[in-house]
């Protein structure tokens, strides 16, 4: 039992490794950018990044889920899935057109109030959101078709190509904020280079299968839609936790303050990006144990969750010790001396990091227990509370307000998910089965966060 329970930590698959690599490359992109741009220029890149990723989480994630679920279900029944791709393509095209029209209509506020009046940054924002439409379409297809190796390659190529633009500025091939920001639009385009190998199997999913049974009964669609909606709420809430702070500070204090808080929150983001690779392996492991039933499987389930939580606690204690001794100095080593970092603020975020990582672990356990909608309620409530706290001037220092709010919201989330884990209340339609479309959706959501 113990050997099996520990196996998920030793046997991370290709997707898990790819997700971790993508996270590291993303971290290095920002570290290099912070060293080579002044505080205001770096903050403007951070604001652009945050705006792009909040937008694509809202617009493109649901279509990605639709594709991955549809193809996974058809594969399970040996049915063609060409109609899934055609329907999703029509929806994605309509969303892209609607976004383009709305972005053009709101060009003034977006360009002047959000993106510091920069026409170049505005067009990068619009172009990146549209480019990610194709990237998320490809992610959904690859995940649904079980092509996790190619999905990992897509994520790594995206992060590596984005990093190339920071490196170009660092070595003097290019210069300035716009060159770094261009990586945000180039990355999803370069990532599509891994799609042609996947299209070799397109004929297999296009051709109708003789005598195929009726597809997607309404009851099944409704059940799948509820699970997909729950995963979407979790995804959007994660974006609020990780990207809401910089956007709030941009509104209160300007771009430089947004860059500062983004770097501080990297204490939480960087471990999370690597931890997502472990979480992707943890979910199917817990799902398999849950599906077996019996006392031995339940004991192995509990052992895996608690072992991961103990590892998170030990890692958090180590980081806290390093921050207490040399936190500000290490932050300036990583991100340059553009900002002065406060040791107390870094320690607050470190505690929040540990609670957030624990919450991610408990979320995987809740999903494996068939509690997707309950977990989504926990995430949504805590994300809303974090935003409300950030908008109320209870703490005079806006940066400290975000730091305290992040840690407090992470603590509340951890407590709520611990309650869900220790007192499970599975709902019909939320159950995960090994290799199911629901499990694929949840793993894909984790992969998206790391990219």
Band (109; pLDDT cuts 50, 70, 90): very high
Please give the pLDDT value at position 98. Answer: 95
339, 259 Cβ separation under 8 angstroms: yes
Please give the pLDDT value at position 43. Answer: 93
**Across residues 357-367, what is the average pLDDT?**
91
Question: Range with the lowest mean pLDDT among 158-172, 196-210, 435-449?
Answer: 196-210
R_g over Cα of the chain: 22
234, 382 Cβ separation under 8 angstroms: no
- What 21-24 contacts at long range (C-beta under 8 Å, 24+ apart), as own/partner pairs, is 21/152, 21/155, 21/156, 21/159, 22/155, 22/156, 22/158, 22/159, 22/273, 22/450, 22/451, 23/159, 23/270, 23/272, 23/273, 23/274, 23/276, 23/277, 23/450, 24/273, 24/274
Question: Range with the lowest mean pLDDT among 70-79, 161-170, 201-210?
Answer: 201-210
Please give the pLDDT value at position 198. Answer: 59
**For residues 238 and 28, what is the distance between their CA atoms, to the nearest angstrom?**
21
**Across residues 43-55, what is the average pLDDT?**
93
Please give the pLDDT value at position 207. Answer: 46
pLDDT higher than 50, residue 15: yes
**For residues 341 and 370, what is the distance between their CA atoms, to the nearest angstrom?**
42
Q: DSSP characters for 22-33? A: HHHHHHHHHHHH
Question: Range with the lowest mean pLDDT among 43-47, 230-234, 339-343, 442-446?
Answer: 442-446
3, 296 Cβ separation under 8 angstroms: no
Q: DSSP characters for 90-109? A: HHHHHHHHHHHHHHHHTHHI
Please give the pLDDT value at position 217. Answer: 47
pLDDT higher than 60, residue 2: no
The sign one gets for the Cα dihedral 139, 145, 151, 153 is: negative
- The neighbour count for residue 89, using CB atoms within 10 Å, is 13
Band (194; pLDDT cuts 50, 70, 90): confident
Q: Which residue has the higher pLDDT, 171 or 198?
A: 171
Q: Which pair of structure tokens corresponds to residue 373?
A: 């909608």
**Across residues 145-164, what is the average pLDDT?**
87
**For residues 153 and 18, what is the distance between their CA atoms, to the nearest angstrom?**
7
**Across residues 359-380, what is the average pLDDT?**
90
Kindly report, residue by residue over 272-308, the tens digit of the pLDDT.
Answer: 777 766 777 777 778 888 777 777 878 888 998 999 9
pLDDT higher than 90, residue 169: yes
Question: Range with the lowest mean pLDDT among 72-81, 211-220, 243-252, 402-411?
Answer: 211-220
**For residues 367 and 365, what is the distance between their CA atoms, to the nearest angstrom?**
5
306, 53 Cβ separation under 8 angstroms: no
Q: Which residue has the higher pLDDT, 427 or 409?
A: 409
Q: Which residue has the higher pLDDT, 10 or 82?
A: 82
Contact residues for 277 (Cβ-Cβ < 8 A; gap 6+): 12, 16, 17, 18, 19, 20, 23, 450
Please give the pLDDT value at position 451. Answer: 61
**For residues 202 and 1, what is the distance between their CA atoms, to the nearest angstrom?**
41
pLDDT higher than 60, residue 125: yes
Please give the pLDDT value at position 45. Answer: 94
What's the mean pLDDT when you consider all of the chain? Answer: 83
Please give the pLDDT value at position 22. Answer: 85
Contact residues for 160 (Cβ-Cβ < 8 A; gap 6+): 25
Please give the pLDDT value at position 440. Answer: 72
Please give the pLDDT value at position 201. Answer: 54
């Amino acid at each position: 039992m113990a050997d099996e329970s520990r196996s998920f930590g030793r046997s991370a698959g290709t997707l898990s490794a790819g997700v971790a690599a993508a996270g590291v490359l993303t971290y290095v992109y920002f570290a290099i950018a912070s060293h080579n741009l002044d505080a205001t220029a770096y903050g403007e890149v951070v604001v652009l990044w945050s705006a792009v990723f909040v937008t694509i989480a809202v617009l493109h994630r649901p279509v990605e889920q639709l594709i991955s679920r549809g193809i996974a279900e058809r594969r399970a029944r040996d049915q063609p899935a060409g109609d899934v791709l055609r329907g999703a393509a029509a929806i994605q095209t309509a969303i892209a057109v609607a976004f383009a029209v709305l972005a053009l209509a709101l060009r003034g506020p977006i360009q002047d109030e959000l993106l510091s009046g920069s026409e170049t940054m505005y067009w990068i924002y619009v172009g990146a959101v549209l480019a990610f439409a194709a990237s998320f379409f490809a992610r959904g297809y690859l995940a649904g078709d079980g092509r996790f190796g190619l999905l990992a390659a897509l994520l790594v190529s995206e992060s590596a190509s984005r990093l190339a633009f920071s490196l170009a500025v660092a070595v003097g091939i290019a210069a300035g904020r716009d060159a770094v920001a261009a990586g945000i639009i180039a990355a999803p385009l370069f990532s599509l280079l891994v799609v042609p190998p996947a299209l070799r199997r397109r004929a297999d999913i296009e051709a109708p299968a003789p005598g195929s049974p009726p597809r997607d009964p309404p009851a099944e669609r409704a059940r799948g839609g509820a699970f997909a909606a729950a995963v979407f709420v979790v995804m959007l809430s994660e974006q609020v936790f990780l990207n809401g702070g910089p956007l709030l500070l941009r509104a209160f204090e300007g771009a430089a303050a947004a860059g500062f808080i983004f770097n501080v929150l990297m204490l939480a983001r960087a471990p999370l990006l690597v931890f997502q690779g472990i979480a992707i392996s943890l979910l199917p492991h817990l799902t398999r144990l849950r599906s077996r039933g019996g006392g031995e499987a339940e004991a192995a389930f509990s052992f895996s969750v608690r072992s991961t939580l103990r590892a998170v606690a030990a890692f958090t204690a180590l980081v806290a010790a390093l921050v207490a001794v040399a936190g500000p100095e290490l932050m300036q080593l990583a991100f340059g001396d553009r900002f002065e970092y406060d040791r107390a603020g870094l320690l607050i975020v470190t505690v929040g990091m540990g609670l957030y990582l624990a919450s991610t672990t408990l979320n995987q356990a809740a999903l494996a227990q068939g509690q997707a909608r309950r977990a989504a309620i926990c995430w949504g409530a805590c994300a809303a509370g974090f935003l409300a706290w950030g908008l109320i001037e209870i703490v005079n220092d806006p940066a400290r307000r975000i730091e305290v709010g992040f840690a407090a919201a992470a603590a509340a989330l951890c407590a709520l998910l611990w309650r869900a884990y220790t007192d499970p209340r599975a709902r019909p339609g939320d159950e995960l089965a090994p290799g199911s479309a629901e499990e694929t959706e949840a793993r894909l959501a984790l992969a998206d966060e790391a990219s």
